[in-house]
Amino acid sequence: MLTLGIETSCDETAVALVDDGRLVGEKLATQIDVHALFGGVVPEIASREHLRVLPRLFKELMAETGTSPKDIDTIAVARGPGLLGSLLVGVSFAKGLCLSTNASLVGVNHLWAHLLAPGLAEDLKFPALGLLVSGGHTHTYLIKSPVEFELLGRTLDDAAGEAFDKVAKLMNFPYPGGRYIDDLSQEAEPDTKLFPRPYVKNPSLDFSFSGLKTAVSLYVQAHPELVFPEMADAAAIAALSGEKREALCRVCASFNWSVTETLKIKVERALDQVGPVKSLIVAGGVAANTRLRETMARLAKKKGVHVVLPELSLCTDNGAMIAYAGALFAQAGYSHELDLEAIPRGRIVPLDWTCKAKNIAVE
């Protein structure tokens, strides 16, 4: 079964073809440079960029894989959560393609797709505990099967990636700053007393990162020498040396430690609560973080579960994960009609399948 995946939920435009669980080809255009000028994603610009780029990417994918649109069995599209204007571009494109071919339509939950993506590289074992850490979301799920997700915990304010990006911005790192914090962190030992591990002294599985961001902000205000005078680029960060570099690396390592330990405490608690699972899947852009990967691997070993850490290209937004997740849902009998809605961030993605499934928990 040939499935096309379309991803336009934020600042990456991406398409991919998956055939029976195997990636056939993919195209991706990132808008990072466009938004970096503003220090964050500008929704209207993102929508316009998707509109401009998506048809070209689709044509290139068809040409490079020798595929005709008529060969496609299923069109899977990220239908939320995400930026509404951006999602509408992908969803409208998918509907147009469905009208001009005989393909069926599947709207895909972008967050679930992140967690299923590592299935492109290895067989996933269920039930699994899923930790989704991205720029917009921090969620834990009990994943009973590839099409059954139960939300366990979520952030009450900032997402983990958002905390990385906001802290990076405090020091005038380029956007998105998570990977610069990761890089610098590796040059220093964390000071585990410097910043709190937020929202861990409670029985809940939810997260809250805004207090940690404030703690770093107060520290940086008291140490203005840590801030680049203007927005640094990668070269300026690489050129930094001496005591300033050491101090900056220590702050990054300490913040990175606080986030990672907080995630570990909550994931360990979730593992204890849900009963035996076969694997721990870590996904989303922040799953690229070196310390987080090491920490989750250690935790999984301690708990006797298999850890699944997707390769870096599968961590951030891509079309392959949408195609792969869409194919799994299509195989299980799910599809959508052409009145499929796009769902903005903050709203629950409904289970409005044509073929209603039972016992699937909503987000």
Q: Can you name the residues that pair with 310 across neighbouring β-strands?
A: none
Looking at the Cβ atoms of 138 and 262, the one nearer to Zn ion is 138
- The whole-angstrom separation of Cα 41 and Cα 194 is 30
- DSSP H/E element including 261: helix 242-274
148 binds, among Zn ion, ligand KG4, none (CB under 5 to 8 A by kind): none
Q: How far is the CB of 139 from Zn ion (least distance, A)?
A: 11
Cβ(152)–Cβ(274) below 8 Å: yes
Residue 363 lies near ligand KG4 (rule: CB under 6 A): no
Query: In the 8-state DSSP scheme, what is residue 358?
Result: S
Residue 263 lies near ligand KG4 (rule: CB under 6 A): no
Residue 284 lies near ligand KG4 (rule: CB under 6 A): yes
Looking at the Cβ atoms of 30 and 172, the one nearer to Zn ion is 30
Shortest CA distance to 312 belongs to which of 148, 178, 155, 138?
178
State which of residues 317, 318, 334, 336 lies at the interface with Zn ion (CB under 5 A): 317
- Helix or strand or coil: residue 255? helix
Q: Tell me which residue has its CB nearest to ligand KG4.
A: 285
Looking at the Cβ atoms of 237 and 321, the one nearer to Zn ion is 321
Looking at the Cβ atoms of 62 and 363, the one nearer to ligand KG4 is 363
158 binds, among ligand KG4, Zn ion, none (CB under 5 to 8 A by kind): none
Q: How far is the CB of 178 from Zn ion (least distance, A)?
A: 13
Q: Can you name the residues that pair with 151 across neighbouring β-strands?
A: 141
- The whole-angstrom separation of Cα 168 and Cα 159 is 14
Looking at the Cβ atoms of 260 and 335, the one nearer to ligand KG4 is 260
- The whole-angstrom separation of Cα 147 and Cα 74 is 17
289 binds, among ligand KG4, Zn ion, none (CB under 5 to 8 A by kind): ligand KG4
Which x/- pattern over 135-154 shows residues binding ligand KG4 (rule: CB under 6 A)?
A: xx------------------
5 binds, among Zn ion, ligand KG4, none (CB under 5 to 8 A by kind): none
252 binds, among Zn ion, ligand KG4, none (CB under 5 to 8 A by kind): none
Using alpha carbons only, give the angle 70, 341, 317 rounded to the nearest 5 degrees.
70
292 Cβ contact list (under 8 Å, min separation 6): 133, 259, 260, 263, 282, 286
Q: 176: cis peptide before it, omega within 30°?
A: yes
Paired sense of beta strands 279-283 and 128-133, if any:
parallel
Residue 250 lies near ligand KG4 (rule: CB under 6 A): no
Dihedral of CA 31/33/34/39: which sign? positive
Residue 86 lies near Zn ion (rule: CB under 5 A): no
Amino acid code (one letter) for 191:
D
Q: Taking CB under 6 A as the criterion, which residues in 32-91 touch ligand KG4?
A: none
Looking at the Cβ atoms of 134 and 138, the one nearer to Zn ion is 134
Cβ(160)–Cβ(209) below 8 Å: yes
Looking at the Cβ atoms of 95 and 179, the one nearer to ligand KG4 is 179
Which x/- pattern over 296-325 shows residues binding ligand KG4 (rule: CB under 6 A)?
A: --------------------xx--------
Q: Taking CB under 5 A as the criterion, which residues in 56-75 touch Zn ion?
A: none
Residue 134 lies near Zn ion (rule: CB under 5 A): yes
- The whole-angstrom separation of Cα 106 and Cα 337 is 8
Residue 109 lies near Zn ion (rule: CB under 5 A): no
Paired sense of beta strands 138-145 and 128-133, if any:
antiparallel
Cβ(15)–Cβ(98) below 8 Å: no
Which residues make up the interface to ligand KG4 (CB under 6 A)? 10, 134-136, 161, 164-165, 176-179, 182, 284-286, 288-289, 316-317
Which residues make up the interface to Zn ion (CB under 5 A)? 134, 317
